[in-house]
Structure 1
Amino acid sequence: MSIFYFVAFLSIFFALMTIFTKNPVHSVLYLVITFFTFTIHYILLNAQFLAVVNFIVYMGAIMVLFLFVLMLLNLNKESEPIKSNLVKVMGAIAGMCMLATFLGAFRIMEVDNGFITGNADVGLVKNLGKILFNEFLLPFELSSILLLTAMVGAILLAKKERKEA
C-alpha cells in the first residue's frame, strides 16, 4: 500500500509541475511522467489492459505528437496571447465541476480495511476479450471498418496530385 501512496504523491506532484511550469516543452514532459504514474496505478489496480493502452496510446503517440507540435511552433513570449478574464472564470468553473465529480465518486466507493473492494477480475485482458468478441463483436468490427475508411480517406486527402508534363 505504501507504493500506491508514493506513486499517488508523484502523480499529484508532476501534475502540478505540468500546470505551473512556464516552459511548454517542460510542461509536456511533466505530463508524460504523469501519464507514466497513471500506468503504474493501473497495474497496481489490476487493470493491465488500461495500463497498456495508456502507455502505448497516451505516452507513446499523443504526447510525442504534442511535444513535436510544440517544438515546431517555436513559442515566444511575444507571440503568446493575453488570456481574458472570461477564460480564467471558465477554468475556475471547470475545476469546480471536476472537484464535484471527484467528491461524488469518492462518496460511492466501498472501502474495507483501507482497500477498495470490488471484483478482482474486472480489468483483466482475458475477460475484456471474451466480452468484446462475444457480446460486442458487431460493433467492434463496424468500428474497425470505420477506422479503416478514415485512414484511407486521410491518405487520399494528403496525397499530392502529380502534374504530367
Structure 2
Amino acid sequence: MEQAFFLFVAVVATASGLAVVMARNPIHSALALIVCFVQVAAVFLLLRAPLLAVIQMFVYVGAVIILFLFVIMMLDVRKEIRTPFLKRWTAVAVTIVVLLAAEMFALLLLGEQWQTPSFALKSGQMSSVRELSIALFTEFLFPFEIASVILLVALVGAIILTRKETN
C-alpha cells in the first residue's frame, strides 16, 4: 500500500513539475508548483519525517508561493502570455523527463537490491529533530554547504539581473 501511495505521489509530483515549466500562464505555473510542494510533503510523510513535511508546507507552500504570487501580480501577465514559448527547448525537456522516468522505474524494479542508508528509520519508527540534525551536520554537511552556496549564488544573480542601471 505504501509503495502504491508513493507511486501515485511521484506521478502527481512529476506531472505538476512538468506543468510548472510548460504552463504559459504564470498563475497556472504557481498553482502547479503548490501541488508539487504538497506532493513533496507527502513523500516526507511516507519517509516518516513529519517535521520535514510540516516545514515543507509552512515554508514553501505558505511563504515562498505567496512571494511568487506577489511577484507574478507585479508583472504584466498579459504581456508574458503573448511572448512565444521556447519551442526549441521542448525536445530537450521531454528527453530529460523520459530519462528521469526510465531511471525511476528502473529503481523501482530493482527495489529489492537497494541499500538502506545508515540513518534510515526502521519500520514504524518516527524521526526526531536530533536524529535529523546529526545526520545533516555529520554525513551530509558537504552537500548542505553546497546547497547553501548555490542559493547564495542564485540570490546574487537575481539581484544583479533586477538591478537598474543609473547613469
Deviation at 1:7, TM superposition (A): 9.9
Q: TM-score when scaled to structure 1?
A: 0.57
The reply to whether residue 8 of structure 1 matches residue 11 of structure 2 is no
State the one-letter code of the partner of 1:119: K
Over alpha carbons, which structure has the higher Rg?
1
- Percent of aligned pairs sharing the same letter: 26
5+ long unaligned stretches in structure 1: 112-117, 158-165
Please tell me the residue identity of whatever aligns with 2:16: A
Q: 1:25 to 1:83 in 2, by over 3 A?
A: closer
Give the corresponding residue for 2:131. 127
TM-score by length of 2: 0.56
Paired with 1:16 and 1:79, the residues of 2 have a C-alpha distance of 19
CA pair 63-108 structure 1, distance change in 2 beyond 3 A:
farther
Alpha-carbon offset, residue 102 of structure 1: 1.1
2:62 maps to: 60
Where do 5+ consecutive residues of structure 2 fail to align? 114-120, 160-167
Alpha-carbon offset, residue 70 of structure 1: 1.2
CA RMSD of aligned residues (A): 4.3
Tell me if the contact between 1:18 and 1:28 (Cα under 8 Å) persists in the aligned partners: no
Going from structure 1 to structure 2, the CA distance change for 1:70 and 1:80 (only over 3 Å counts) comes to same
Count, aligned residues: 138
Moved more, 86-95 or 4-13: 4-13
Change (3 A) 1:56 1:11: farther
Further displaced range: 45-54 or 64-73? 45-54
Corresponding position of 2:118: none
SS in 2 for 1:46: coil
CA shift digits 1:45-80 (9 cap, x unpaired): 312243133223321232222212211112115763
